Amino acid sequence: MFAKGIRWLYQSPPRTLVLGFAAIILIGAVLLSLPAAAAPGETTGWIDALFTATSATCVTGLVTVDTGTHYSVFGQIVILLLIQIGGLGFMTMATLFAFFLKRKISLRERLILQEALNQSSIEGIIRLVRRVVYYALAIEAAGAILFTSRFLFQMPLGKAAYYGVFHAVSFFNNAGFDIMGQFRSLTDYASDPLVNIVTMLLIISGGLGFVVLSDLTDIRHSRRLSLHSKVVLTMTGTLILVGAVVIFAFEYSNPATMKHLSLGGKILSAFMQSVSPRTAGVNTIDLAGLRQATQFFMIVLMFIGASPGSTGGGIKTTTFATLLGAVWAMIRGKEDVVMFKHRLAQERVYKALAVTLLSLTLVLIATMVLSTTEDHFFLQILFEVTSAFGTVGLTMGLTTQLTLAGKIIIILMMFIGRLGPLTLGYALTPKSGRELYRHAEGKIIIG
């Protein structure tokens, strides 16, 4: 029976990923529940430890207790390690250790890496893993140095360096955890150009995906970008710009958010709130004070999320671009979805539809259930659920008031959002053989 269970585990790379992430979350929860992980006078219940461990491993940022004041330095370092492992992927970290031990990477491990990094083949997968680690450490180090130089004006060198490293790792991995205290996030730096620009660059770098970063690095030699990179960069730039314009227009005169800021502060805040919903979870203005139109618009941005193979969540920018392409092709009476003079395979369109519909269904079901367990406004609940599914970490204040049932639902949404509904579906369903026949074509009326 045990041998059969082991075979069941190793039959499918998605299954290995699901159980691997679950194991890391449980280990993290045990560590965070230890008395040494809490600040003096604080205790961490099991459900709060599990919630925080899930949020960190799934690089979300939603917390039921304040990270900066509730946890000790040991607890914060555990959270930081979970963020790094969750952001890069536990298989990437395991492969890194294998490099150090000079152990050969097996075919099965390459297949799991292929699934974890959203690659279409295992060709060049080890080279990509090396680049993933190199890019992550280099970008995080640069961010840490810049943050430290800014925090030095407020605190001693040791504390400034610690704050710099923590926030650089958290923001690059799109986790949204901060140790500023009292759930403040970066609201004290709403008009600070250095903190805002560095934060946005870290978030965008982590959200583009390592394949795109690799393409951008090689462009000096290849002189061209892949179709994937072109779509990701175009959609990312468009969503950030459109998001900033919409948020600026809606919140410009809002006394609860941006009215008191200078023009430069308003522009920085608009761009930050446009970048952050793309799964980062950092805010420089009070989200509960946003107009409802802005809150709903941010829900849309959170649902779309970052790009494939990145540290972010959501349905992904390429999925959204594929759906737009399919709609545009249908309106024009074309059979093919064409992007940058390349035709997309029909399988890609089907996958985009499946991911979007599954994701939307999960968000709606979780929202309906939470609407019965939590006594809060519907938009507030929808915002929380979408934030959890998109591994964003933004909240309108609901997280700390969740019931036990609400916490469990949000934990599940963060877990599903990080792995992706299709990966979870592949892991839980038995592998079916190839169909040897096709049914006769039928017609139904659409629209």
Q: 24-36, pLDDT tens digit by residue? A: 999 999 999 999 9
User: How buried is 111 (Cβ within 10 angstroms: 0-12 exposed, 13-18 middle, 19+ buried)?
Assistant: middle
- Does residue 82 form part of some domain? yes
Report the residue count for the chain.
447
Which residues touch 161 (CB under 8 Å, ≥6 apart)?
144, 148
pLDDT digits (tens, 9 = 90+) for 158-195: 999 999 999 999 999 888 899 988 888 888 898 899 99
pTM: 0.89
Ordered alpha helix ranges (H), 276-345 = 292-304, 317-331
- Residue 6, in any domain of the structure: no
DSSP one-letter code for 42: -
* Residue appearing with tokens 């990179």: 229
pLDDT by residue (tens digit) across 103-158?
A: 666 666 666 666 555 665 666 667 777 777 888 889 999 999 999 999 999 999 99
Cβ atoms of 88 and 80 within 8 Å: the answer is no
* Distance from C-alpha of 108 to C-alpha of 41, rounded to nearest angstrom: 47
In a domain, 25, yes or no: yes
Q: What is the pLDDT of residue 435?
A: 65
CA distances from 411 to 52, 282, 398, 418 (A): 9, 19, 14, 11
Q: DSSP assignment, residue 432?
A: P
Round to whole Å and give the CA distance between 252 and 249: 6
The C-alpha atoms of residue 294 and residue 318 are separated, in whole angstroms, by 24
Q: Which tokens belong to 119?
A: 């690659």
Distance CA 301, CA 314 (A): 9
The answer to the question of residue 2 being in a domain is: no
415, HSE (Cβ side, Cα atoms, 13 Å): 23
Per DSSP (E only), the strands in 77-173 are: none
Q: For the chain, what is the mean pLDDT?
A: 85
Q: What is the pLDDT of residue 11?
A: 53
Q: Are 24 and 85 in contact (CB under 8 A)?
A: yes
**Whole-number pLDDT of residue 2:** 43
Indicate whether 442 belongs to any domain.
Answer: no
Residue 6: the pLDDT is 46
What's the rounded Cα separation, in Å, for the pair 128 and 113? Answer: 10
- Judge whether 1 lies within some domain: no
- Give pLDDT, residue 3: 46
Distance CA 84, CA 41 (A): 28
Q: Which domain holds residue 299?
A: 12-425
101 phi/psi in degrees, rounded to 5? -85, 0
- Which residues in the chain show pLDDT less than 50? 1-6, 8-10
What are the phi and psi torsion angles at 340 (to 5°)?
50, 45
The verdict on residue 441 lying in a domain is no
* Count of the separate structural domains present in the chain: 1
In a domain, 363, yes or no: yes
> How far lies 158's CA from each of 154, 155, 161, 339, in Å?
12, 8, 5, 50
Closest CA to 181 of 258, 76, 298, 277: 76
